[in-house]
Amino acid sequence: MNTKHLLSIALLTAVVGFGSCQKEPSTSALRNEYLVYTAYDEKADFSTFETYYMPDSILLIGPEAVDQYGNKSAKYWKDQDAQALIAAVETALEGCGYTRISNPQERQTADFGMQLSYVEETTLFVGYNNPYWWGYYPYYWDPGYWGSWWGGWYYPLSTFYSYTTGSLLQEIVDLTAQGRADRKLPVLWNSYISGLLRGGNTLNVNEAVEAIDQAFVQSPYLKK
């Protein structure tokens, strides 16, 4: 079966299925292919954005890390493979017409933030509802990371997904909506990539880069 056709089906499922409960389609027929799902807020005007900030690491979602004092903490992926994925996202966003702000101290001045996460060793069945679904997972990108004025998350679409081990997630959060009365940080776009694991549960970095590119190909509305 044609992979591009499958990607189109996956995109159609993601776009028209909002408001209903849906699970990740079976990938057994895809053998060694990946799937890319994208969704966005149809009311968002991405042409108004100029700059963005993206951290230099990817959040690892899985068994919680414990520091030397026994306290639970987040785990972040920063090695060469992680940097290859981050660079792919940066190249794609540059192609869309956006400029990256590199200084972490200036991240709150960006028009939007890009969050990258990788499901390392767990299966999650979660939903975009109220509160924002990652609120159920400890140590995710806290809204406060993007500014002290944010008190929570807001996703304008209602849908449910089953995220499995080896999934790569991308999310665009709107940093220009500082005047929101409910103090919630809007999430305007997300991408969910699955099927990236190969023998020995190893991430295929080259395919992950291709999948990131595909996520932007099927999101033409992101181009300025």
- 121-153 residue pLDDT tens: 777 666 555 444 455 455 568 888 898 888 877
The residues with which 159 forms a beta bridge, in sequence order, are: 128
CATH of the domain at 143: 3.30.160.670
pLDDT score at 53:
98
In a domain, 41, yes or no: yes
Per DSSP, the residues of 156-199 read SS-EEEEE-TT-EEEEEEESS-TT-TT-EEEEEEEEEEE--EEG
In a domain, 200, yes or no: yes
pLDDT score at 94:
98
pLDDT score at 148:
83
Sign of CA dihedral 119, 214, 53, 206: positive
pLDDT score at 191:
92
What stretches in the chain show pLDDT beneath 70?
A: 1-32, 64-72, 124-140, 157-161, 200
pLDDT score at 25:
52
In a domain, 125, yes or no: yes
The mean pLDDT of the chain is 79
Q: What is the domain extent for residue 103?
A: 35-64+71-222
pLDDT score at 86:
98
pLDDT score at 30:
44
In a domain, 3, yes or no: no
pLDDT score at 33:
79
Total domain count, the chain:
1
In a domain, 16, yes or no: no
Q: Count CB-CB contacts under 10 A for residue 82.
A: 19
Backbone region of residue 139 per phi and psi (left: phi > 0; alpha: psi in -120 to 50; beta: other values): left
